[in-house]
Structure 1
Amino acid sequence: MKIKHIKEADLVVVGSGIGGLTAAKKASDKGLNVILVTSSKFCGGASYFPLKGTLGIQTTAHFPEDEKLFQEDINRVGLGMDNPHMVESYIKNIRESIGFLNEIGFEPWLRDDKRPACFAKYPRDIYLIKDWEKAKTNASKIFNSIENLKIEENYKIVKILQKNNCVDGAIFQDKNGDFLLIKTKVIVMATGGVAGLYKHNLYPEDVDGSGHIVALDAGAQVTNMEFIQFIPAFITPKYNTLYGEHTAKYVTGMFDLNGKLIYPGIDDEKARKLWIERSAYAPFSCDFESFKIDLAMVNSIDENNGGVELKFHPDLYKDSGEFYTVYLNWLKESMNIDMCKDKITIAPFAHGCNGGVMVDQFGKTSVDGLYAIGELSSSVEGANRLGGNSVGGALVFGNQSVLNAYEYLKNLENKDVKNRDTSELLNEFQVWISEIFGETDIKEDLLEKDEVVQKIKNTLTNYGLIKRNYESLKTGLDILENLKTKSLDGYFKIEAAKLLLISMINRNESRGAHYREDFPKRDSIPQRLVVSRKNNSFNIEK
């Protein structure tokens, strides 16, 4: 296996979203020699995906009692699947972490209104960010001026090299198939979630769960992968644009694409109550009676393989609330969309994943020197995600991971730990490649990467969407088991998709974002699914 480039660094950050940039900036501030590796261009991932006018970050309020209320909010919607050690660290550090946004090129401001965040019971301060292109320009100026930080674009991590449960380096591959070896004792992974594996998604295509498999192969564990957020977004008039859930209380009816009413609107007394409830949260959750609206949508889409049409009362544009005016103005000015005049069709789009790599309060995995932050990690959230915590978690644990890694590196210096020889590292990589691919005799069954991606997206969309049952999940898993590829990228996508369906199959209940029509009720005793890998196969513990 030829390695085109070999480099060394004190610390490597993988991913250039908000979490990755925060970690890279904080590490360089500590005087460490840092290499930031990104699978696309600098400033990537979900952080820079312009799905709506603004992104919000929820912070602890100024009064001391809010720490308890904030924790109560997260615990309530997490339904026993949240991570208390992460919650405590987040609540303690999020307010001071807002300033990190300025350090990486954003210009946050405090939202005027006190509307509670998605799923939240209590209102608190929410900071907003926008102007993604300006933020990218600012970040480029900031990071290009840092002497002890280098940026490697268009390289995807494929293997973490480790010995005795300690990181020794990593192998990356570019789009031409060339490999890069970076010798390092610390890797902070911020590769994002899994949404790119679905046909309809609100994330960039390279947010595909590959980082989860790389971390698992290194010896880390993952949890809560079955709790994926699906949020309605536009099919028309502008595909891949986020639907503002707060507008739901102005819906006059949901129709199939032939104009047949499939769910009544606010003029119906019983339906009105559900539309108002549905307007308070964006992601699908089976914990509210209004999930009937989402099921009606999915059942109709199953029949026509498109979307559903929503019609709105003109009073929508008379609502002067900031949450309405900002969103509706953005739609008109940036997307040329009028919710009352245009034909609005929506469908569930894959968005955030509440689960991920298991870490401690510093983002440290079970592998020494390996950290997972942002949506790659199983961070603050559980069965549901409280709005405004995603970006905040990337900020908090981007910093926390570096604080811990810095001490880890100092300890290694005191122990005078030596780096392994390049030849030994490359041999480890070669052995792993052979274990994955071996020799395939049935050449005609091998698929090109693009074919693999299309089959994965169709499979997850058809069998792993909102409405789940054992038979459909097992059918999807069987399809994935029979996919074969010689592409490393294809391999990771297949394994990540299998990880999702395996997790969904093993949770035999309905809880939060996970709905099983064959197990419609929630278990009285919550169980956490912990996934590990051995010999390139998944192991599940409950």
Structure 2
Amino acid sequence: MKIDSKITTDVLVVGSGLSGIKVSKELASSKHEVLMVTKTKLASGSSFYPLKASLGTQVTKDADDKELFLQDIEDLSRGMHRQDLAEVYVEEIPDRVTEYKDIGVLSKKLEGERKACFANHPRDIYLLSDWDQIRENVRTIFSEYDNLNLMEKTVVVSLIKKEKRIVGAVMLNEENEFVLVECKAVILASGGFGSLYKHNLNPTDVDGSGHILALEAGASLVNMEFIQFIPGITAPRYKTLFGEHTLMYCQDIINDNGESLLDPYLPEEVTKKECLEIRSSHGPFTHSLESRYFDIAMMKSIIASRDEKGFSLVYDEELYENKEEFYTVYLDWLKGKNVHLTKQEVKIAPFAHASNGGVFIDTHGETGIDGLYAIGELSSNIEGANRLGGNSTGACMVFGKRAATACGKYLQSVDAYDLTEEEGNEQLQKLLDFTNSYESQESELTANQIVDKIKEIMWYHGNVVRSEKQLVAALEEINVLESDFQFEELIEHRHSRKLAIKVRNFIRLSQILLQAMLERKESRGAHYREDFPVESPDFNKRLFVSQNNQHSVSLEFLTK
């Protein structure tokens, strides 16, 4: 097992969603040599998930709206957001939204003003859609730059640090050969980790690999326990994004016996109508609102029955009489997917969707490691315990631009490190030695079976409803799978190398997530502990994850 070839570039961009596209275009326009790598094809990740109608970007209206916008973010975050990042977003998003066209993204301003998901105040919302056309546009734009190179079906295995800065990376290319990259900087834009869960609304490449790369390079992770779970359609079209706004016209959610799911869970002071109306105003689950019973009822029923088929929605026919653009865009798109909410039995269940936490960054996407940047969903950005709708796409633009500017200045301030293949081989050996520190044993499970088991464990135990008993049991199961994992055997065979890296990352990240969920002994925003069902002032600080020199992980609550 050794390096097969070497590439030299100024900056390596990992990921090809909105943030990766934005930062690559900005750097290429500034004449820097850019190498973008992506696990699948150009224009991928959650940004380009196919079974959704559109994405939205929420935009500051005017000077008076800035304080209201910041207040919306603060109220929703439950004290877990970053004020400095929020201020940057609110100030700069009006300019950045005009730049969608520069990267080939089709955007349209909705008629009138509308409250975004979780928002208390209405403002302008831009819808992004027609993803197939956007892919074509991006490829055309990228082809205009001789200094912007693309490697598809390529996985970054490890980042190389010398002289306390990033100087390169080791990758597996399309032919599963080890490639050494010599570069001055790396920008991670690889997205979240939704595919760590059995039922998710992400492409398979959204697997948390960037989090492990950053952690092992010395960066910190934060707010990892705050994960968005939203209802997704299980039937008639599995993994289709559900439009929560349609719940305004929903009468009930029922099981296969026609029994209301909500009746056993709603307290006397909350009516079914109130619960559904509140739930229609936001996509992700949150403990912060009375609508929480909707998601808790679904997940508790699934855990009790182990039946994952989902639950049926009972709608008023008036749903299809609403001609507001926000409704018609979604309902017409569903029709194109052969889904009709009142004429068919439509079932939903909680799906993993997006991560509120991620790599800790400053206002320029810098991680604290010289030459390493993180942007997009991979980073822990402006959101906290909950995320305001329409901010994630905008953050890709705002911090993609800022990271490109900061990285451009950094590239001019440092000389390239002459990285040798011998040093690349040493990095490979470090990876092998670290992973072989696991006490592995003979296993009857294949690597793919280990992946599937991790996804099931995470979906049942690290979903909407959490408790110490469930989380400890999940960690014990993951640790057993870790001992079953034969990394060296897989990595030695070319055809299974990428799978070996995926299993390794799944094990590490699932352990981190479960540990973070255990540490936060309260309920706050997207994190609900049924054994600690109230928000506690004792936990009004962010949970940081870091790796020490012995490769073990430490978790610490900090106020920074």
The aligned runs of 1:221-232 (5 Å cut-off) are 221-232=220-231
For residue 541 of structure 2, what is the aligned residue in structure 1?
527
Within the candidate set 388, 391, 394, 1:392 is matched to 394
Give me the whole-angstrom Cα distance separating, in 2, the residues matched to 1:58 and 1:22. 18
Say whether 1:539 aligns with 2:551: no
Q: Which runs of 5+ in 2 are unaligned?
A: 488-499
- Judge which range, 339-348 or 82-91, deviates more: 82-91
Per-residue CA shift, 1:144-176, capped at 9, x if unaligned? 221101100111111000023200101112465
Say whether 1:34 aligns with 2:28: no
Alpha-carbon deviation of 1:30?
A: 0.7
For residue 272 of structure 1, what is the aligned residue in structure 2?
273
For residue 311 of structure 1, what is the aligned residue in structure 2?
314
Task: Return closer, same or farther for 1:424/1:503 CA change in 2, 3 Å cut-off.
Answer: same
Q: Is the 8 A contact 1:188 1:373 kept in 2?
A: yes
Per-residue CA shift, 1:96-122, capped at 9, x if unaligned? 111332122112111113220001111
For residue 108 of structure 2, what is the aligned residue in structure 1?
109
Q: Tell me, what secondary structure is at the counterpart of 2:149?
A: strand
Q: Tell me, what secondary structure is at the counterpart of 1:284?
A: coil
Give me the whole-angstrom Cα distance separating, in 1, the residues matched to 2:270 and 2:380. 40
Q: Percent identity of the aligned residues?
A: 39
Q: Tell me, what secondary structure is at the counterpart of 1:230?
A: strand
For residue 212 of structure 1, what is the aligned residue in structure 2?
211
AA partner of residue 377 (structure 1): S
For residue 52 of structure 1, what is the aligned residue in structure 2?
52
Within the candidate set 315, 325, 329, 1:322 is matched to 325
For residue 195 of structure 2, what is the aligned residue in structure 1?
196
For residue 492 of structure 2, what is the aligned residue in structure 1?
none
Q: Is the 8 A contact 2:184 2:417 kept in 1?
A: no
Say whether 1:185 aligns with 2:201: no
For residue 512 of structure 1, what is the aligned residue in structure 2?
525
The aligned runs of 1:405-424 (5 Å cut-off) are 405-413=407-415, 418-424=417-423
Per-residue CA shift, 1:455-502, capped at 9, x if unaligned? 111110121111000110011011111222411221011111111111
Give me the whole-angstrom Cα distance separating, in 1, the residues matched to 2:283 and 2:240. 13
Q: Tell me, what secondary structure is at the counterpart of 2:101?
A: helix
The aligned runs of 1:287-436 (5 Å cut-off) are 287-304=288-305, 305-306=307-308, 307-332=310-335, 334-413=336-415, 418-436=417-435
Alpha-carbon deviation of 1:431?
A: 2.3
Give me the whole-angstrom Cα distance separating, in 2, the residues matched to 1:14 and 1:5. 19
Alpha-carbon deviation of 1:429?
A: 2.9
Alpha-carbon deviation of 1:355?
A: 0.2
Within the candidate set 505, 508, 513, 1:495 is matched to 508
- Judge which range, 532-541 or 27-36, deviates more: 532-541
Give me the whole-angstrom Cα distance separating, in 1, the residues matched to 2:263 and 2:25. 51
Give me the whole-angstrom Cα distance separating, in 2, the residues matched to 1:322 and 1:114. 11
Q: Tell me, what secondary structure is at the counterpart of 2:459?
A: helix
For residue 480 of structure 2, what is the aligned residue in structure 1?
482
Alpha-carbon deviation of 1:264?
A: 5.8
Per-residue CA shift, 1:231-250, capped at 9, x if unaligned? 00100011101111111121
Q: Tell me, what secondary structure is at the counterpart of 2:89?
A: helix
Q: Is the 8 A contact 1:253 1:264 kept in 2?
A: no
For residue 18 of structure 2, what is the aligned residue in structure 1?
18
With the length of structure 2 as denominator, give the TM-score of the two structures.
0.93
Give me the whole-angstrom Cα distance separating, in 1, the residues matched to 2:420 and 2:30. 27
Q: Tell me, what secondary structure is at the counterpart of 1:261?
A: coil
Q: Tell me, what secondary structure is at the counterpart of 2:43?
A: coil
Q: Tell me, what secondary structure is at the counterpart of 1:472?
A: helix
Give me the whole-angstrom Cα distance separating, in 1, the residues matched to 2:131 and 2:10. 30
AA partner of residue 539 (structure 1): S
Q: Tell me, what secondary structure is at the counterpart of 2:330?
A: helix
- Judge which range, 426-435 or 217-226, deviates more: 426-435
The aligned runs of 1:235-246 (5 Å cut-off) are 235-246=234-245
Task: Return closer, same or farther for 1:6/1:112 CA change in 2, 3 Å cut-off.
Answer: same
For residue 458 of structure 2, what is the aligned residue in structure 1?
460
For residue 262 of structure 2, what is the aligned residue in structure 1?
263
For residue 139 of structure 1, what is the aligned residue in structure 2?
138
Per-residue CA shift, 1:207-265, capped at 9, x if unaligned? 11111011100000000010000000100011101111111121122111232222369
- Judge which range, 457-466 or 527-536, deviates more: 527-536
With the length of structure 1 as denominator, give the TM-score of the two structures.
0.96
Q: Tell me, what secondary structure is at the counterpart of 2:252?
A: strand
Give me the whole-angstrom Cα distance separating, in 2, the residues matched to 1:345 and 1:380. 33
Give me the whole-angstrom Cα distance separating, in 2, the residues matched to 1:291 and 1:435. 42
AA partner of residue 8 (structure 1): T
Task: Return closer, same or farther for 1:344/1:441 CA change in 2, 3 Å cut-off.
Answer: closer
For residue 471 of structure 2, what is the aligned residue in structure 1?
473
Q: Is the 8 A contact 2:182 2:417 kept in 1?
A: no
Alpha-carbon deviation of 1:291?
A: 0.7
Alpha-carbon deviation of 1:94?
A: 1.0
Per-residue CA shift, 1:317-350, capped at 9, x if unaligned? 1112221111111111x21111101001100000
Q: Is the 8 A contact 1:436 1:536 kept in 2?
A: no
Task: Return closer, same or farther for 1:175/1:258 CA change in 2, 3 Å cut-off.
Answer: farther
Q: Tell me, what secondary structure is at the counterpart of 1:116?
A: coil
Give me the whole-angstrom Cα distance separating, in 2, the residues matched to 1:32 and 1:160. 20
Q: Is the 8 A contact 2:167 2:417 kept in 1?
A: no
For residue 100 of structure 1, what is the aligned residue in structure 2?
99
Q: Is the 8 A contact 1:161 1:429 kept in 2?
A: no
Give me the whole-angstrom Cα distance separating, in 2, the residues matched to 1:404 and 1:96. 18
Q: Tell me, what secondary structure is at the counterpart of 1:115?
A: coil
Alpha-carbon deviation of 1:441?
A: 6.4
Say whether 1:150 aligns with 2:143: no
Give me the whole-angstrom Cα distance separating, in 2, the residues matched to 1:470 and 1:22. 41
Q: Is the 8 A contact 1:300 1:308 kept in 2?
A: no
Q: Is the 8 A contact 1:45 1:206 kept in 2?
A: yes
- Judge which range, 427-436 or 494-503, deviates more: 427-436
Q: Number of residues paired by the alignment?
A: 535
Task: Return closer, same or farther for 1:418/1:324 CA change in 2, 3 Å cut-off.
Answer: closer
Say whether 1:8 aligns with 2:8: yes
Per-residue CA shift, 1:411-461, capped at 9, x if unaligned? 114xxx64343322331332232222259663x227433112101111101
Alpha-carbon deviation of 1:179?
A: 1.3
Give me the whole-angstrom Cα distance separating, in 2, the residues matched to 1:175 and 1:36. 14
Alpha-carbon deviation of 1:5?
A: 2.4
Alpha-carbon deviation of 1:50?
A: 2.2
Give me the whole-angstrom Cα distance separating, in 2, the residues matched to 1:223 and 1:76. 19
Q: Tell me, what secondary structure is at the counterpart of 2:541?
A: coil
Give me the whole-angstrom Cα distance separating, in 1, the residues matched to 2:364 and 2:440. 46
AA partner of residue 320 (structure 1): K
AA partner of residue 311 (structure 1): V
